[in-house]
Structure 1
Amino acid sequence: MPVVKLKPMGATDQIDDFERVRKIHRVLVMHYVEGLSQAEIAKRTGISHPTVNRLVKEGHDRGFVQITVKSPFQSLFELEQQLVEAGGLREAIVTPSVSEQEEVNLASAGKAAADFLLANLRDGDTLCVSGGQGVSAVVNALNPSRAYDVRVVPATGGVQGKHFIDVNHVAARLAAKLQGKAFQIHAPIFAASREERDVLMSLQSVREVLARAREARVALVGIGSVHSDKSTYFNLQTTGRLDLPDIVQSGAAGELVAHLIDRKGALCDYPLNERVVALTPAEFKAVPLSIGISAGERKAEPIASVLRGGFLDALATDEATAARVVGILKG
Structure 2
Amino acid sequence: MTEPTPDFQLTRQIHTVLVLHFIEGLRQSEIASKLNLSTSKVNRLIAQGRKLGMVRIDIESPFQRLADLEAKIVSATALTSAMVTPTVSGNAETKLQQVGQAAASMLMETLRDGDVIAITGGKAISAVVDNLNPEGSIDVTVVPLTGGVQGKFYTDVNHLVTRMAERLGGKPVLMHAPLFAENAAQREMLTNMASIKEVLDLARAATVALTGIGSVEPRGSSYYDLNPVPEADRKMLVGMGVSAEFMAHLIGRNGKVADYDLNRRLVALNPAEIGNCRTVIGVAAGAHKAQPIRAVLNGNFVDTLVLDEETVTAVLAHLEGSEDAA
TM range (shorter): 0.7 to 0.9
Aligned to 2:29: none
Give 1:158-307 correspondences, 5 Å limit: 158-237=148-227, 241=230, 243-307=233-297
Q: CA shift at 1:285, angstroms?
A: 2.3
SS of the residue aligned with 1:211? helix
Contact 1:132–1:222, Cα closer than 8 Å, also in 2: yes
Q: Secondary structure at the match of 1:163?
A: coil
1:92 to 79, 82, 93: 82
Identity of aligned residues (%): 44
Letter in 2 for 1:71: S
How well do the aligned residues superpose, as a CA RMSD in angstroms? 3.0
1:125 to 115, 118, 128: 115
Shift of 1:241: 3.4
Q: Which structure 2 segments of 5+ residues have no match?
A: 26-34, 322-326
Give distance in 1, aligned partners of 2:268 and 2:5: 73
Number of residue pairs aligned between Structure 1 and Structure 2: 305
1:67 and 1:148, CA in 2 relative to 1: closer, same or farther beyond 3 A?
closer
**Aligned equivalents of 1:95, 1:217: Cα separation in 2:** 25
Distance 1:297 1:17, change over 3 A: closer
1: CA distance, partners of 2:69 / 2:225: 33
Letter in 2 for 1:204: A
Alignment partners' CA distance in 2, 1:136 and 1:175: 13
**TM-fit CA distance, 1:248:** 0.5
Say if 1:129 and 1:155, in contact at 8 Å, map to a contact too: yes
Provide closer, same or farther for how the CA distance between residues 95 and 230 of structure 1 changes in structure 2, counting only shifts above 3 A: closer
Q: Secondary structure at the match of 1:110?
A: helix
Distance 1:136 1:289 in 2: 19
Distance apart, 1:19 and its partner CA = 8.6
Partners of 1:59 and 1:202 in 2: how far apart?
A: 67
**Counterpart position of 1:7:** none
Q: Distance in 2 between matches of 1:121 and 1:17?
A: 49
Alpha-carbon distance, 1:91 to partner? 1.5
Deviation at 1:61, TM superposition (A): 2.4
Name the structure 2 match of 1:324: 314
Normalised to the residue count of structure 1, the TM-score between the two structures is 0.82
Structure 1 position 318, deviation (Å): 0.7
In the alignment, what sits opposite 2:32?
none
Unaligned runs of 5+ in 1: 1-11, 39-48
